[in-house]
Amino acid sequence: MSSYVHRWPVVAAFLAIAGVLASLFVIGTKEPKKPAEVAGVFLDADVGIDRFSFIQTKDGETQWEVRAKRAQILERESKAVLEDLQVTLFEDGDARMVLEGDEGVVDTESNNLTLKKNVGTIPIALKGGYTIHTKDLKWIDRDREISTNSSVTIQGEGIEITGVGLRGALGTEIFTIIRDVRAVVTN
């Protein structure tokens, strides 16, 4: 009888270890949980990059630069989808315009890009003292033009012009509001 008493702790320890191993095996064979889907992150992206930077040059001179908090590269669609971005447009080697958006897309073939502001507007400060405000904007690289189909406001000393849609060239600072134009002049 005394030999059974001395073996009892060894048997109990063996049964406890076997129970732990069996429960780990059962837990390990369950179907894995799916990763959480995070808004703004594309599951079909080829590459995800934090602190993304893209510089477009022509004849050795920087044309524009994009910096973003995060980018998802979709090679099949030739685009980079960006979050929290800043675009600097250059002219004659100098920074000409700085634009900021919550979302954006760079077409990696045409080098066109779009920006969107979810809250507030994108301010576009011009050399002549005017500022354009809009919620979204498209840059056409080939023509060095900006455009939007959204509401716009142009503000300057003593004048505010509002309307819908805008087209304009970076170099000339000549912009056209497409429709529903209204101007208010103050002294």
- The residue-averaged pLDDT of 77-83 equals 89
DSSP 49-115: EEEEEEEEEETTEEEEEEEEEEEEEEGGGTEEEEEEEEEEEEETTEEEEEEEEEEEEEETTT--EEE
Residue type, 141: D
Q: What is the pLDDT of residues 131-157, one digit of tens each?
A: 999 999 999 988 889 999 999 999 998
pLDDT at 116: 95
| φ and ψ of 169, to 5 deg | -100, 140
Q: What is the pLDDT of residues 83-134, one digit of tens each?
A: 999 988 887 777 778 889 999 998 989 989 999 999 999 998 887 788 999 9
| φ and ψ of 75, to 5 deg | -65, -40
Q: What is the pLDDT of residues 24-57, one digit of tens each?
A: 555 555 544 433 334 444 456 677 778 888 888 8
Q: Is residue 133 within 8 Å of 121, Cβ to Cβ?
A: yes
In three-state secondary structure terms, 18 is: helix
